[in-house]
Amino acid sequence: MNELPQDGIVVAAGTVRGTQSFVHTLSECWRRPSLTALEVLWRWAYGVPALLLLRYEGLKILQATPLDYAALKGMTVVDPLGSAQTLAKALALLVPQVLGVALWLAPLLVVAWVVVSAVGRTVVLRRADERLHSRVGTLIVLQAVRVVALLGSFAVWFWCMERVAEWTVTGPIAAGGEPNLVGYFSLVIVATLGLFTLWAVASWALSVAPLMAMLKGSGVRGSLAAAFRLGPLKSKLVEINLVMGIVKIALIVLAMVFSATPLPFESVTTPEFLFWWWVGVTILYFLGSDFFHVARQVAYLQFWRAYETST
């Protein structure tokens, strides 16, 4: 079966129900594991070599940097100021070397991601519906636009973290007082969740533009214009994007909970067990994340087909 049915779209009182329809979409994607398998394949085909390259460069930097490992191992929350000073000294040695590597490695990884993700997204969506057009070149440009916007959101997040640190840590220390670590972490969590939710709500057009290119066979401008002119369909896509943001937060929380599960038994567990447990939790997190990425794209496609049929 090469075309996804639209029977999963839930309509009540003449209105399409976005979240209820998304539950049916999850069930449909679960019954078609080949979609998730293709998503995992192209993402891990990029991610595994990228992680190995990062590990290689990271080990080179650590071997070339004279760090005081004894002081780093002795850091404790009981002495936050001393730990902060130790960490600051280590960062002063590491940051210049890390920036030197990042100047050539970061652009390389971003370009590779843009190309691989465009090809991978094309393969997955055409597997979901073979009527879609293959527009790899257009998807590369659209993916580059989305990456630039995402990097901009990270820049805003980093700016917020700096301001929070000034208000709660560096400012009080400069005034001769004690840092407010509880306030710092509280504001960091609130600001991070707020920006994460804002991105989930505002980035729907950048997520749906590649699908518009494959549905209509249009170019970059036409796809972006179509993504912003979806009429009543827009609210459903925003709803799905917001649900996906909540799902991502839930996956992160679950991963953190499962990662901490063995810690109460640390006295009877081995470092090797903890290492492989955390590896397993990380793999499960990425598998779940990949599944929901596929479900979002399929939901966009099903909504579009349903509205296209009704009009």
Write down the domain spans for the chain.
10-310
> Residue 190: is its pLDDT beyond 60?
yes
Phi/psi at 132 (5° precision): -70, 150
pLDDT confidence bin for 5, thresholds 50/70/90: very low
Q: What is the pLDDT of residues 266-280, one digit of tens each?
A: 677 788 888 889 999
Q: What is the pLDDT of residue 1?
A: 40
Q: What is the pLDDT of residue 207?
A: 83
> Residue 250: is its pLDDT beyond 80?
yes
The residues facing 16 across adjacent strands are 11
pLDDT confidence bin for 310, thresholds 50/70/90: low
How far is the C-alpha of 297 from the C-alpha of 121, rounded, in Å?
A: 9
> Residue 235: is its pLDDT beyond 60?
yes
pLDDT confidence bin for 46, thresholds 50/70/90: very high
Asked whether 187 and 164 are in contact (CB, 8 A), the reply is yes
DSSP 8: T
Q: What is the pLDDT of residue 309?
A: 59
Average pLDDT over residues 217-232: 84
Pick the closest to residue 299 from 12, 14, 35 (CA basis): 35
Q: What is the pLDDT of residue 44?
A: 92
Stretch among 72-81, 117-126, 143-152 having the lowest mean pLDDT:
72-81
Stretch among 56-60, 168-172, 255-259 having the lowest mean pLDDT:
168-172
Q: What is the pLDDT of residue 10?
A: 45
pTM for the structure as a whole: 0.79
> Residue 225: is its pLDDT beyond 50?
yes
Pick the closest to residue 124 from 6, 295, 242 (CA basis): 295
Average pLDDT over residues 255-268: 82
Q: What is the pLDDT of residue 311?
A: 52
> Residue 84: is its pLDDT beyond 90?
no
Query: Between 270 and 214, where is the model more confident?
Result: 214
What value, to the nearest 5°, has the Cα angle with vertex 208 and ends 206 and 211? Answer: 125
